[in-house]
Chain A
Amino acid sequence: MTLTIWINLIYLLAAVAFIVALKGLSSPKQARNGNLLAAAAAVVAVGATFFNPEAHFSHHTTNLILAIVAMVLGAAIAVPVARMVKMTAMPQLVAIFNGVGGGAAALISIVVFLSDANLHSLGAPKPATYAIVEGMLGLLIGCVSFSGSAIAFIKLQELITGRPITYPGQQVINGLVGVAIVGLAVATVLTDSVALMVATAVLSLVLGIIFVLPIGGADVPVLISLLNSFTGLAVAASGFTLNNNLLIIAGTLVGASGILLTRMMSKAMGRSLSNVLFSAFGSVVTAGGGADGAGETRQVKSGTPEDIGVLLAYAQKVVIIPGYGLAVAQAQHTARELADLLMERGVEVFYAIHPVAGRMPGHMNVLLAEANVPYDELKEMDEANPEMGTADVALVVGANDTVNPAAKNTPGSPIYGMPIINADEAANVIFLKRSMRPGFAGIDNDLLFDDKTTLLFGDAKDTLSKLVKAVEDA
């Protein structure tokens, strides 16, 4: 009994540490300490669980050994993967670590269900209805999060197209699957049948897949945030099933904060969450594909690195607008080199960061921080926009949709209403692009065809190095 009390006190401390850690993550200075605190708390809580009488490890040596083997194996896989994956692949990594968490929560529900059913067949009373309901919630949400995250990973890794995958009657079919899951779950609760429980799990996995398929690549980060929140709720449900306060508090914290974060992210894209999830964004665009045809007849102006180098070197104020293209080319260091060089020549330079530049909010800040770009050179969109009118050059590196004036000027455009960086207000606009391929949103950018716009095609790192050389020679 006393041991139980001690262990629950440790769990309580861990829960407090998690809250403090989340708070810490809201300030750049405290963030790292916050994360380390949460990790330390997790280690202590996991350590204490070996002695938790509810786990019965002292009586079940085989189970203890298996648990340790699973943990060692998991850590041996997770650490190298987390350490070695490129920063640009961070979103899919978060997706996969999130998915496995949901999977674990679902498995907990399944094992508890099987164990209860087994005890029931041996003459123990049927578990309380609310207990089965809790278990089914953990199973359902966990399964959706697991398969949904897996598809999000596959999309971001570009193993399948990032474009929305749609088919006729999609929303009706998804709705029917949802209804069928609820029906099966209720039937499972009423009958306590293992077969129905398994059917619910399978159908929930299917729902996770078909829920994610119609969501376009650009919206997947919002989706990951939502699935992260789902996993939190699944973990909270596991906490209810196992009567464990730590899981309830930690899971609920993540669930609640995740929903809020998801809404902040969709807001940054100028859209509502339901619009992100159910509108099949890109398919609308393909339907209005007339713009593509019009694009071919229009002329773009492409320049040489030397011309652009001179333009940059003799400018007063240059704004660098980085996008995902900079990230995939790993060009953040070269961008900083160019910025430093220009600053040495007395040019005023800053980076204008769109909230969803890169593939997750804040992703671009992480990448630029990696290249040691100091905070004071990074300006958030709201801070940067009033200055765009006085800029001589807007240097757009691998960004497209986040500077597309259609968001302001074309009410019919799918991105209409999305806040953008006003690159079009600068005296000159330079696009460093790999090709004329449209951005994630799949729509043409009128700014590319503007008279004051010059394009420089190529890999961002390559073109930036050429510009560095051109500025040196200028």
Chain B
Amino acid sequence: MSNTTGILEFLTIFVLAVFVGNEVVARVPSILHTPLMSGSNAIHGIVLVGAMIVMGTASGTVQMVLGFLAVLLATLNIVGGFTVTDRMLEMFKAKPGENQGRAKAKGADAEGGAK
């Protein structure tokens, strides 16, 4: 019985998360679609937590090797995912001092807008 309540609780969380997931990205401007895809790619890298739990409980060579691989792959996902997203988003920030040519071209107005 307690097991059945368990799965129902997890199902409830699952269904609510579906709605949250839909709601959260509904208003994303298209210029941010790529960073969003990359960012959500990093977020599912949290599978590392699951991989660690499995690695901790693994016994025997086969399970150990597979668990090791799971942790390795999940680490690639989470570390690579966040790093690459940060690199993308870094570029959306105008760097001060590199817009001088533009200031001449478009006046102080554009310079302010670029920051």
Which residue of A has the minimal Cβ distance to B19? A256
Indicate if the CB atoms of A77 and B22 lie closer than 8 Å: no
Which residue of B has the minimal Cβ distance to A382? B30
Residue of A28, A366, A370 contacting most chain B CB atoms (<10 Å): A366
Residues of A within 8 A of B105 (CB): 340, 343-344
Residues of B within 8 A of A344 (CB): 104-105
CB distance from A388 to the nearest CB of B (A): 19
Question: Roughly how many angstroms separate A97 CA and B75 CA in the complex, as a whole number?
Answer: 10
Within 8 A of B (CB), among A1-38: 11, 14, 18-19, 21-23, 25-28, 31-32, 34-36, 38
Indicate if the CB atoms of A362 and B34 lie closer than 8 Å: yes
Indicate if the CB atoms of B30 and A268 lie closer than 8 Å: yes
Indicate if the CB atoms of A250 and B43 lie closer than 8 Å: yes
Question: Roughly how many angstroms separate A94 CA and B52 CA in the complex, as a whole number?
Answer: 23
Residues of A within 8 A of B14 (CB): 236, 240, 248, 252
Q: State how many residues of chain B have any CB contact under 8 Å with chain A.
A: 92
Taking A38-B42, A55-B56, A82-B80 as contacts, is the C-beta distance between A225 and B37 under 8 angstroms? yes
Instruction: Tell me what chain B mostly uses at the interface: helix, strand, loop, or mixed.
Output: helix
Residues of A within 8 A of B101 (CB): 340
Question: Roughly how many angstroms separate A34 CA and B86 CA in the complex, as a whole number?
Answer: 10
Which residue of A has the minimal Cβ distance to B92? A369
Taking A232-B44, A369-B92 as contacts, is the C-beta distance between A361 and B30 under 8 angstroms? yes
Residue in contact with A42 in the complex, picked from B45, B68, B87, B102, CB distance below 8 Å: B45
Report B14-51 CB contacts with A as 1/0, cut-off 8 Å: 10011111101111111111111111111111111111
Indicate if the CB atoms of B41 and A108 lie closer than 8 Å: no
A421 contacts the other chain (Cβ, under 8 Å)? no
Q: How many A-B residue pairs have CB under 8 A?
A: 386
Question: Roughly how many angstroms separate A146 CA and B29 CA in the complex, as a whole number?
Answer: 29
Which residue of B has the minimal Cβ distance to A23? B24
Question: Roughly how many angstroms separate A71 CA and B104 CA in the complex, as a whole number?
Answer: 50
Taking A22-B24, A71-B75 as contacts, is the C-beta distance between A55 and B53 under 8 angstroms? yes
CB distance from A65 to the nearest CB of B (A): 10
Q: How large is the interface on A (under 10, 10 to 19, 20 to 34, 35 or more residues)?
A: 35 or more
Residues of A within 8 A of B29 (CB): 26, 28
CB distance from B35 to the nearest CB of A (A): 6
A66 contacts the other chain (Cβ, under 8 Å)? yes
CB distance from A295 to the nearest CB of B (A): 32
Report A82-102 CB contacts with B as 1/0, cut-off 8 Å: 110101001001100110110
Residues of B within 8 A of A52 (CB): 52-53, 56
Indicate if the CB atoms of B49 and A45 lie closer than 8 Å: yes
Taking A31-B35, A101-B77, A107-B73 as contacts, is the C-beta distance between A83 and B83 under 8 angstroms? yes
Known: A111-B63, A372-B102. 8 other contacts (CB 8 A): A22-B36, A22-B40, A32-B90, A55-B56, A97-B80, A225-B37, A256-B20, A366-B92
The 5 closest A-B pairs by CB, nearest first: A74-B75, A256-B21, A55-B56, A78-B80, A252-B17
